[in-house]
Amino acid sequence: MPSTNVRALVEYLVKGLVDRPEAVSVRATERDRVVLIEVQVAPDEVGKVIGRRGRIVAAIRTLARAAAGTGGQRVVVEIVQ
């Protein structure tokens, strides 16, 4: 199942960015060929995941889409509180 691979990739990337990786929670849900990946981090570390002008989260989204491959799945990565 590609969604578990994409979820694991996003979790790995986010845990590498924050100071407290134990506070990272990544949840993936799949519906109608859309994989929604919700990332939750400690409130004081949200900026580290988003980055300046959203560049880091944009890169994470690009990698997640690439990891999903050409199977016709759409991947959406969201940072939730």
pLDDT digits (tens, 9 = 90+) for 10-34: 999 999 999 999 999 999 998 888 9
Task: List, for residues 20-79, the tens digit of each pLDDT value.
Answer: 999 999 999 988 889 999 999 999 999 999 999 999 999 999 999 998 886 778 999 999
The span from the CA of 35 to the CA of 14, in Å, is 17
| Edge-to-edge order in the sheet of strand 74-80 | 25-31, 34-40, 74-80
Run of H or E residues at 9: helix 2-17
